[in-house]
């Protein structure tokens, strides 16, 4: 008997450990570059607050309901007054949900103006177009000339930024969980989202609306920087491309022109002025290539160019598998050097 009790106790403590480990794993998902529960922007802070209030409320309601259920099972059946039952149903089943849901709706709606109204005059504006499956990014600094980039967004910390979002093909959705809420990008319509990063760091944005075969490969790094560092970065991005620094890179540039890459890509400062695909003027300075899919390094460029369709199924760019390893290497060195 005693042995059985001990066994029972050890099983129970093992179960507790499993639950504990599970909770730890679950909580580990709450931080990181792409977590709405680890906010780095004022919009995300409000959303995280709303989430915490909703979880706390749900826990309280769950305890109340389970408590009532246990009470109803354990209580001896006594004739209740009909009135008490009626008020329990009207109070708990009608009035209570109406009050709770109305408060939540009001709280949620009150957040919308901050997120979707235009940023104050003089703020930085960035136009982002979702395309299958990458991001065309146009910086529109106040008073300055626009700069077209792709697949990466950098922001100054502590300043509101207005995103003007649209789509070139199907519906996409623009979401930087660490900074704020997501919003759809629709063909033929501009949606707006104002975000205000509150701390520096590297975060991750993603397409949050299924948009075809490579929807999951449509991401982008978001770098929040100090104002001065940001200004230097944007000025550098506005410049034309650096000429190839080595003979291998020069060979890569020749191949870039010889293989028709210029039909789709622009490299400012060269005759390459295609507008179908991402601007590559400073592709070597980005944290990733192929819209957050591969790290920015020569190996990844080679893989991307030779096995494009394997890396990102159905994307518009064809495989350039006919290039020799040496040619691929030259192209990769040229593109990686475009900083």
Q: Would you say 130 or 278 has its CB closer to ligand CUA?
A: 130
Measured at the CA of 109, the angle between CA 104 and CA 110, to 5 degrees, comes to 100
Q: Which long-range contacts (CB under 8 A, 24 or more apart) does 235-238 make?
A: 236/282, 236/285, 237/139, 237/147, 237/149, 237/281, 237/282, 237/285, 238/145, 238/147
State in angstroms the smallest separation of the CB of 149 from ligand CUA. Answer: 18
Q: Would you say 188 or 271 has its CB closer to ligand CUA?
A: 188
- DSSP-derived secondary structure for 49-105: HHHHHHHHHHHHHHHHHHHHHHHHHHS------HHHHHHHHHIIIIIHHHHHHHHHH
Q: What's the length of the chain?
A: 339
Q: Would you say 308 or 329 has its CB closer to ligand CUA?
A: 308
Q: Would you say 46 or 217 has its CB closer to ligand CUA?
A: 217
State in angstroms the smallest separation of the CB of 167 from ligand CUA. Answer: 8
CB-CB neighbours of 334 under 10 Å:
26
Let me know: does 293 contact 134? Beta carbons within 8 Å: no
Q: Would you say 165 or 223 has its CB closer to ligand CUA?
A: 165
State in angstroms the smallest separation of the CB of 316 from ligand CUA. Answer: 14
Q: Would you say 163 or 320 has its CB closer to ligand CUA?
A: 163
Calculate the alpha carbon distances from 316 to 167, 194, 308 in Å: 16, 31, 9
State in angstroms the smallest separation of the CB of 130 from ligand CUA. Answer: 5
Beta pairing, strands 153-156 & 219-225? parallel
State in angstroms the smallest separation of the CB of 40 from ligand CUA. Answer: 23
Q: Would you say 130 or 160 has its CB closer to ligand CUA?
A: 130
CB-CB neighbours of 105 under 10 Å:
10
Closest CA relative to residue 339, chosen from 265, 281, 256: 281
- DSSP-derived secondary structure for 253-305: HHHHHHTTGGGT-B-TTSS-B--SS---TTGGGSSEETTTTEESSHHHHHHHH
State in angstroms the smallest separation of the CB of 116 from ligand CUA. Answer: 20
State in angstroms the smallest separation of the CB of 207 from ligand CUA. Answer: 3
3-state class of 192 per DSSP? strand
Question: What residues line the site for ligand CUA (CB under 6 A)?
Answer: 130, 133, 172, 207, 209-211, 215, 218
State in angstroms the smallest separation of the CB of 216 from ligand CUA. Answer: 8
Q: Would you say 104 or 171 has its CB closer to ligand CUA?
A: 171
State in angstroms the smallest separation of the CB of 208 from ligand CUA. Answer: 7
Q: Would you say 185 or 238 has its CB closer to ligand CUA?
A: 185
**Under the phi-then-psi rule, with left for phi > 0, alpha for psi from -120 to 50, and beta for the rest, what region is 143?**
left
């Amino acid at each position: 008997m005693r042995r059985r009790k001990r066994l029972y106790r050890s099983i129970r403590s093992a179960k507790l450990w499993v639950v504990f480990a599970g909770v730890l794993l679950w909580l580990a998902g709450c931080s990181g570059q792409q977590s709405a529960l680890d906010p780095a922007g004022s919009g995300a802070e409000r959303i995280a607050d709303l989430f915490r209030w909703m979880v706390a409320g749900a826990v309280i309601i769950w305890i109340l309901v389970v408590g009532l259920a246990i009470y109803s099972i354990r209580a001896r059946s006594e004739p209740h007054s009909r009135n008490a039952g009626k008020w329990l149903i009207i109070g708990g089943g009608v009035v209570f949900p109406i009050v709770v849901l109305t408060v939540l709706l009001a709280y949620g709606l009150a957040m919308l103006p901050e997120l979707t109204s235009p940023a104050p005059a003089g703020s930085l504006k960035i136009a982002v177009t979702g395309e299958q499956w990458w991001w065309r990014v146009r910086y529109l600094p106040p008073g300055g000339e626009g700069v077209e980039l792709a697949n990466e967004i950098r922001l100054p910390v502590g300043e509101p930024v207005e995103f003007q979002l649209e789509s070139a093909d199907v519906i996409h959705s623009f979401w930087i969980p660490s900074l704020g809420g997501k919003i759809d990008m629709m063909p033929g319509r501009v949606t707006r989202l104002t975000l205000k990063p509150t701390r520096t760091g590297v975060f991750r944005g993603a397409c949050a609306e299924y948009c075809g075969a490579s929807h999951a490969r449509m991401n982008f790094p978001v770098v929040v920087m100090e104002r001065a560092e940001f200004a230097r970065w944007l000025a550098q991005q506005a410049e034309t491309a650096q000429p190839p620094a080595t003979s291998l890179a020069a060979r890569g540039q020749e191949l870039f022109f010889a293989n028709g890459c210029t039909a789709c890509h622009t490299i400012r400062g060269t005759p390459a002025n295609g507008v179908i695909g991402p601007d590559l003027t400073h592709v070597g300075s980005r944290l990733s290539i192929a819209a957050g899919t591969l790290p920015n390094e020569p190996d990844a460029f080679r893989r991307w160019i030779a096995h494009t369709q394997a890396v990102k199924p159905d994307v518009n760019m064809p495989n350039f598998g006919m290039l020799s390893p040496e040619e691929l290497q030259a192209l990769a060195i040229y593109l990686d050097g475009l900083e």
